[in-house]
Amino acid sequence: MRTKDKFGLISFLAILMIVMIHSNMGGRWSSFAVRAATHWAVPWFFFASGVFFRQSCDRYSVMELMKRKIQSLLLPLLIWMMIWIPIGGDPNLWYLKSLIMFTFSSLIVRAITKRVSAAIWLLFTCVVFSVFTVAKASWYYGTPTSPFYFLLGLVLSEEILRERKPCRFGIIVLSCLVATGVKAVWFIAPWHGILEMVVRNIGVVATVVAIWLVLDLLPRGFQLKSNLVKSVFFIYCFHGPLVRGAKQLWKHNAAEFGYDIGFYLISLFAFSFSLGIALCLRRCAPLIYKVISGGR
């Protein structure tokens, strides 16, 4: 299976995991399922964003790339907030806000250091992201490990997209060191917290590597339909208030033991409905869909 097609299929699986995370109502088995199966999804999106952002940096000038990112990230964020907030829905778009912060910070760093080697640029970017993490400012929406998975994608982009088969163990070690290094240096977490984070990030990367290796077994021509892959961003922006409303309705009409059943039903409903709306808009109102999905 080609690398580009792997990214599309894994992203489609990851958005299903995101919907499951948001559909969790605290039931015994559903909470276990969320912890066991979905822990890799958000880090994957930051990693994939870093991979393709580095590719775009090699392809476009800083100003041209900035215009493209305004169209693909900032404009959709503003549109979806204007859609959901007036009707009382919280779109929960913290990932998109964090990605905008990482992307435009990297663009600024790239513009300043355009005559410096890529290694210096990446090191400088890491320092900037570390400030985000340590500051814990109210304007920072991500988790402590979010910028480091984005950075990991930047570092491994060329190797992965050119299918050079990077060392799996090396990726695991690198991700764990990068994702926990700032916490260890600044002592902003107890050591048992650092150890827990190391183990968690090993699990995240090991899961993605395992999925990647399984996809290696598929025929090279195998691919998910492009309409499904291009619906991932729309599903992310659309499903949040939908899930929240369904959860409130279910909790008012179900006993606690029904939370596990509700988890699976709401996940299936929210994902299927969001995907259906995305496919309908792509077919019936392609211009509107293109605007709200950032040109995807």
Closest CA relative to residue 6, chosen from 141, 135, 14, 66: 14
**Taking the CA of residue 5 as centre, how many other CA atoms within 13 Å lie in the half-sphere pointing to its CB?**
12
Work out the end-to-end distance of the chain between its first and last CA atoms, rounded to an integer number of angstroms: 22
State the average pLDDT over residues 111-117: 62
DSSP 162: T
Distance CA 227, CA 276 (A): 11
State the average pLDDT over residues 157-172: 62
pLDDT (tens digit per residue) in 241-265: 888 888 888 877 666 557 778 888 8
Distance CA 207, CA 245 (A): 31
pLDDT (tens digit per residue) in 165-182: 555 545 555 555 555 554
Distance CA 263, CA 110 (A): 43
> Amino acid letter at 252?
H
Distance CA 22, CA 19 (A): 5
Q: How many CB atoms lie within 10 A of CB 150?
A: 29
Q: Can you give the pTM of this predicted structure?
A: 0.83
Place of tokens 């996940």: 267
Share of the chain above pLDDT 70, in %: 70
Coil, strand or helix at 35: helix
Q: Where are the domains of the chain?
A: 3-292
Please report the sign of the dihedral spanned by the C-alpha atoms of residue 14, residue 19, residue 21, residue 27: negative
Q: Which two tokens stand for residue 281?
A: 């808009």
Coil, strand or helix at 231: coil
Distance CA 213, CA 255 (A): 41
